[in-house]
Amino acid sequence: MKNVIVVGSQWGDEGKGKIVDWLSSEADVVVRFQGGHNAGHTLVIDKKVFKLRLLPSGIVREKKISILGNGVVIDPWALLDEIKEIKNKGISVTDENFMISESASLILPFHQEMDEIREDIAGKSKIGTTRRGIGPCYEDKVGRRSIRVMDLRSESNLDNRLKNVLAHHNAVRKGLNKKIYKKDELKKKLLKIAPQILKYAKPVWLELDKFIKNRKKILFEGAQGILLDVDHGTYPYVTSSNTVPSMASTGTGLGPDKLNYILGITKAYTTRVGSGPFPTELNNKIGESLGKKGKEFGTVTARKRRCGWFDGVLVRQTIKISGINGIALTKLDVLDDMDEIKICVQYELNGKKIDYLPSAPEDQFNVRPIYKTFPGWKTKTQGIRHMKDLPENAKKYVYALEDFIGAKISSISTSPERDDTILLEDPFKI
């Protein structure tokens, strides 16, 4: 019996949605445990495209339970919009196949506005957030003043909680010359949608405990990537949650002893959206061609993703930090036309060679990548589903990568389509 945790091993957008959807055929329950609608997970099933932000990628399959854990920050209006959107595509979302933790914190309009205000004030030194209010909401959570799903149950309780949170936000807003939030207006808005949200609200830890007792298989769907983790990522150019797999326990209330197999989703090259250091970034034709071939535009914000070569030093580091057991290598097909392909195997910093990414942002911006070069395969791999069908040079690249990063490549994805995937080791069966 295995539970599988899927996390991104780079800066997000590694193809987690595709792999979670593919693996969810074997799972009974799919759970998000951190992040919010800053995530954008794309699924392609028989050419039909689903872009999910908050809903777990298991939602499109019948008879699977989808859950948002306490570690997720939920914009209730965004959630209702997404439910409506997916229902219009013929997917069923009911209180039987979907639940949210009653302890999850709510993203409110002033969080989203604060995200915008801060980014605008920061100008050139902005983080490049998704402007969804993620950071300000997590701040309120840690500050013990957030409004949680359960607060929607009682008007008097909601009133008290709003008084408390607005005392903080209105003081800050006053200082910034922004309009003051009126408690009663916001309360009215929240009470209007409360029944639609509360029908999904449950003590998720208890439900998960029951699933475990009934020997159900649970698939945890991470959002973002390890390099965006607030502790282990390229701080301050990170998101405001822990994206490491151990968060699957904290963010749901299921003990870490139930987290069995950690699958790191890893793109065959590197992308990043937003500001921050990116040692292997290619500001040239090769970078442009990766972006074009890989359709590297943000799922949530439509921003152009920055592209570069595979950074072996970084992925080796995130594998260690997060305890990744196996790798799903994605977007190998994007490299099909390359004459040669590079992997970063070391950095040089101030004339010295180093084997890891240093912690200080000024060093992270200054490291120079040292590459190992591989010949391209110049053959179409798109849609290949068996290892034996990969061209020799593609196999060599995959094995070299596996050897360098020190984790087994357990599957390889060769197109956005659900089943265009080479399975080498089934995470649920190890």
Q: Applying CB under 6 A, which residues contact ligand GDP?
A: 8, 12-18, 40-42, 44, 295, 299, 330-331, 333-334, 413-416
Q: Residue from 135, 264, 287, 294 that binds ligand IMO (CB under 6 A)?
A: 135
Give, as ranges, the residues between 29 and 88 that touch ligand IMO (CB under 6 A): 38-41
- Residue in this structure with the two tokens 């490299």, named with its chain if needed: 335
Q: What residues contact residue 397 under an 8 Å CB cut-off, 6+ apart?
A: 268, 335, 341, 374, 377
Gap between the Cα atoms of 26 and 325, Å rounded: 18
Catalytic residue among 13, 21, 115, 311: 13
Stretch that binds Mg ion, among 53-61, 120-128, 295-303, 369-377 (CB under 5 A): 295-303
Give, as ranges, the residues between 91 and 130 that touch ligand IMO (CB under 6 A): 127-130
CA dihedral sign, ordered 300, 332, 400, 287 = negative
Give, as ranges, the residues between 138 and 177 that touch ligand IMO (CB under 6 A): none
Region label for 331, one of left (φ > 0), alpha (ψ between -120 and 50) or beta (otherwise): left
Instruction: Give the contact letters, 14-53, x = binds to Mg ion (CB under 5 A), - = no.
Output: --------------------------x-------------
Distances (CA, A) of 93 to 42, 98, 310, 318: 18, 6, 38, 35
Instruction: Give the contact letters, 5-34, x = binds to ligand IMO (CB under 6 A), - = no.
Output: ---x--xxx---------------------
Asked if 308 is part of the footprint of ligand IMO (rule: CB under 6 A), the reply reads no
Give, as ranges, the residues between 256 and 285 that touch ligand IMO (CB under 6 A): 273-274
Choose among ligand IMO, ligand GDP, Mg ion, none what residue 317 binds, the Cβ cut-off being 5 to 8 Å by kind.
none
Comparing CB distances to ligand GDP, the nearer of 353 and 380 is: 380
37 catalytic per annotation: no
Residue number of the CB closest to ligand IMO reads 274
**8-state DSSP, 244:** S
Comparing CB distances to ligand GDP, the nearer of 4 and 197 is: 4
Stretch that binds ligand IMO, among 69-77, 158-166, 221-229, 245-253 (CB under 6 A): 221-229
Comparing CB distances to ligand IMO, the nearer of 194 and 228 is: 228
Helix residue ranges per DSSP H, 123-182: 134-142, 155-175
Catalytic residue among 21, 37, 41, 75: 41
At residue 347, φ and ψ (nearest 5 deg) are -120, 160
28 catalytic per annotation: no
Please state the closest distance from residue 221 (CB atom) to ligand IMO, in A: 9
| Beta strand ranges found along 34-102 (DSSP E) | 41-45, 48-52, 65-68, 73-74, 98-101
Q: What residues contact residue 174 under an 8 Å CB cut-off, 6+ apart?
A: 180
Q: How many CB atoms lie within 10 A of CB 133?
A: 27
Containing H/E element for 308? strand 306-308
Choose among Mg ion, ligand IMO, ligand GDP, none what residue 128 binds, the Cβ cut-off being 5 to 8 Å by kind.
ligand IMO
Q: 209: burial class by Cβ within 10 Å (0-12, 13-18, 19+)?
A: middle
Q: How many CB atoms lie within 10 A of CB 172?
A: 13
Q: Is the separation of the CB atoms in 266 and 328 below 8 Å?
A: yes
Please state the closest distance from residue 117 (CB atom) to ligand IMO, in A: 14
Comparing CB distances to Mg ion, the nearer of 187 and 305 is: 305
Q: Using DSSP, state whether 142 is helix, strand or coil.
A: helix
Q: Which residues are catalytic?
A: 13, 41
Write out the residues near Mg ion by the rule CB under 5 A: 13, 40, 299
Write out the residues near ligand IMO by the rule CB under 6 A: 8, 11-13, 38-41, 127-130, 132, 134-135, 223-225, 228, 239-240, 273-274, 299
